[in-house]
Amino acid sequence: MSIQVRFFASLRERVGHTRLSIESAGIATARDVWHAVSASPLDEEMLVAINKAYASLDKAVSDGDEVAFFPPVTGG
């Protein structure tokens, strides 16, 4: 089973991917997802969403979840 990972805006350019699919084995939280896709620490101001709802880095993730990472929002 897998977890879908998405990146937006400047973080997408930094990571170099729009989407990734990772194996869910050994992944418990959104923080684990980040460490599975990047060797660098996640900036404190970066935001996380699980299944299109804001979440904390320590929130649990499960098989089939979509986890997104993105910078502070600048709409309007």
Partner 1 sequence: MRVEIRETAFDPWLEVSAFRRDHLAAGRIGASAVFVGTMRDFNEGDDVKSMVLEHYPGMTEQHLETMTQDAISKHQLSDALVIHRVGTILPADDIVLVAAFSAHRKEALIACREMMETLKSTAPFWKKESLASGERWVEKNTAG
Binding site for partner 1 (CB under 8 A): 6, 8-10, 49, 52-54, 68, 70-76
Do the Cβ atoms of 60 and 29 come closer than 8 Å? Answer: yes
Please say which residue, 27 or 67, places its beta carbon nearer to partner 1: 67
Please say which residue, 12 or 31, places its beta carbon nearer to partner 1: 12
Please say which residue, 23 or 54, places its beta carbon nearer to partner 1: 54
User: What single DSSP character describes residue 63?
Assistant: T
Do the Cβ atoms of 7 and 66 come closer than 8 Å? Answer: no
CB of 15 to partner 1, least distance (A): 14
Phi then psi for 30, rounded to 5 degrees?
-60, -35
